[in-house]
């Protein structure tokens, strides 16, 4: 363990109350709906069943509601005053952050968020609290800014007690994680089936009426590393309906491309509700997840497809996407950044119903074995307890 202050804090592990964990991330529900937010929600839900009390500290542009009571946790929101390269910033977050740190037994960060590094290092209260980091992604795109950020990041990482990788694949392939491998633990992401609303027959019929019974689905934030421009290139080679559900920075560009190339079989429903997502996952033929850069460290949507017994198409990028989706067992894995093999995989699953059903059954079985929320919650709760044990 890194800090003597942390060791002092651990000298009295018998709390006689639930372990208090403060989760710290740059954004959270209901402001945004991405994989990082869903991971935090699932960790809170699953560890709550293991005797953990959870709070979330985040930034928000909605200053009217600084505190929210959600089923998984109480959410405390400091004002967001701006953003640089996806890094949310606040001029007034330090005081409310310190207040929440005083409440917590453990601080749980989600990387990367450079502003959180600064908060941790500038607040004296953090020196007496164990801290862990769930690693969501390496810094891939902002290489120039990373040069300036790296000294801050290094100091922060030296201070934290444990870094959690979401798959053994990413722990082995990430240059960042390899620098700190002596403090890396692997806890795969899991999701709780009970946390998703079941699609009604009416909901499913509505999706089938809208898109047919053989459509391919993408669900997620429309970001640069999701490979959706590759998906649209592949869509030019197949006529199977494709639904791209979600919003994000790439939305206008993708819609312009689809219109320019007359891709009338590609549909953009925009932001969808949880019920609509369940209905889409229940009725699609397969999930297409063409992320082509290692910024995509895992892909919670892949677990959602597995939960619904749907096969997946992913690209080999050396991260957790291939840990979830095993070629020939739960879906198909193709080369990254290449429309032709992606189109071939899409065509194969859209025309071979028996194959799609077999792979979908394999996906559901792997979910039940490896990726349940209960399993993840047990592992995180065990890590929390370990961090609070006396150090001898």
Gap between the Cα atoms of 385 and 51, Å rounded: 10
HSE at residue 240, side-chain half, CA atoms within 13 A, is 26
Residue 153: CB atoms within 10 A of its CB come to 16
Query: Is the CB of residue 258 less than 8 Å from the CB of residue 284?
Result: no
pLDDT at 347: 98
- Site of tokens 């200053």: 63
For 127-171, the DSSP string reads GGS-EEEEE-----S-HHHHHHHHHHHHHHHHH-SEEEES-HHHH
**Burial letters 28-38, b for 16+ CB under 10 A, else e:** bbebebbbbbb
Which residue matches tokens 């005083």?
102
Q: What does the pLDDT read at residue 12?
A: 42
Contact (Cβ atoms closer than 8 angstroms) between residue 315 and residue 337:
yes
Contact between residue 109 and residue 132 where contact means Cβ atoms under 8 Å apart: yes
4-192+373-387: what CATH class? alpha beta
Pairing of strands 82-84, 87-89: antiparallel
d(CA 72, CA 344): 41
All CATH 3.40.50.2000 domain ranges of the chain, comma separated, are 4-192+373-387, 193-370
Specify whether domain 193-370 bears CATH 3.40.1190.20.
Answer: no
Residue 90: per-residue pLDDT: 96
pLDDT by position in tens, the chain (length 392): 333 334 334 334 456 889 999 999 999 999 988 889 999 999 999 999 999 999 999 999 987 899 999 999 999 999 999 999 889 999 999 999 999 999 999 999 999 999 999 999 999 999 999 999 999 988 866 677 878 889 999 999 999 999 999 999 999 999 999 999 999 999 999 999 988 888 999 999 999 999 999 999 999 999 999 999 999 999 999 999 999 999 999 999 999 999 999 999 999 999 999 899 999 999 999 999 999 999 899 999 999 999 999 999 999 999 999 999 999 999 999 999 999 999 999 999 999 999 999 999 999 999 999 999 999 999 999 999 999 988 75
Task: Give the DSSP letter of residue 191.
Answer: B
Beta bridge partners of 59: 78
What is this structure's pTM?
A: 0.87
Residues with Cβ < 8 Å from 245, sequence gap 6 or more? 217, 218, 219, 220, 268, 269, 270, 272, 276, 277, 280
The span from the CA of 365 to the CA of 363, in Å, is 5
Give me the helix-helix angle, 35-48 and 300-307, nearest 10°: 60
Strands 74-79 and 67-69, bridge-based pairing = antiparallel
Q: Where are the alpha helices (DSSP H) in the chain?
A: 4-9, 35-48, 94-103, 114-122, 143-159, 168-173, 175-179, 201-211, 228-235, 251-260, 274-283, 300-307, 321-324, 339-351, 353-370, 373-387
């Amino acid at each position: 363990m890194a800090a003597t202050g942390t060791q002092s804090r651990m000298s009295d592990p018998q709390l006689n109350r639930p372990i208090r964990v403060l989760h710290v991330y740059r954004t959270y529900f209901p402001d945004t709906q991405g994989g990082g937010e869903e991971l935090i929600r699932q960790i809170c839900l699953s560890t709550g069943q293991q005797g953990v009390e959870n709070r979330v500290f985040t930034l928000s542009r909605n200053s009217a509601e600084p505190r929210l009571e959600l089923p998984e946790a109480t959410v405390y929101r400091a004002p967001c005053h701006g953003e640089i390269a996806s890094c949310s910033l606040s001029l007034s977050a330090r005081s409310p952050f310190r207040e929440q740190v005083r409440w917590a037994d453990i601080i749980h960060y989600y990387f990367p968020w450079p502003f959180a590094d600064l908060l941790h290092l500038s607040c004296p209260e953090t020196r007496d609290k164990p801290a862990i980091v769930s690693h969501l992604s390496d810094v891939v795109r902002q290489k120039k800014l990373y040069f300036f950020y790296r000294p801050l990041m290094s100091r922060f990482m030296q201070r934290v007690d444990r870094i959690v990788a979401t798959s053994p694949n990413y722990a082995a392939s990430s240059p960042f994680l390899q620098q700190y491998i002596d403090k890396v633990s692997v806890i795969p992401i899991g999701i709780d089936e009970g946390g998703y609303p079941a699609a009604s027959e009416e909901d499913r019929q509505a999706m089938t009426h809208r898109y047919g019974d053989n459509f391919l689905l993408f669900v997620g934030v429309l970001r640069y590393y999701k490979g959706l421009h590759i998906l649209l290139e592949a869509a030019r080679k197949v006529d199977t309906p494709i639904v791209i559900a979600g919003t994000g920075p790439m939305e206008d560009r993708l819609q312009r491309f689809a219109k320019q190339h007359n891709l009338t079989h590609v549909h953009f429903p925009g932001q969808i509700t949880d019920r609509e997502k369940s209905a889409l996952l229940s009725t699609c033929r397969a999930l297409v997840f063409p992320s082509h850069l290692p910024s995509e460290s895992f892909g919670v949507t892949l677990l959602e497809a597995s939960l619904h017994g749907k096969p997946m198409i992913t690209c080999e990028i050396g991260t957790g996407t291939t840990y979830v989706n095993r070629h020939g067992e739960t879906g198909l894995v193709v080369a990254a950044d290449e429309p032709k093999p992606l189109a071939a995989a899409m065509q194969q699953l859209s025309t071979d119903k028996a194959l799609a059903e077999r792979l979908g059954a394999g996906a559901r079985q792997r979910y039940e074995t490896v990726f349940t929320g209960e399993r993840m919650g047990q592992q995180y709760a065990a890590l929390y307890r370990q961090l609070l044990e006396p150090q001898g």
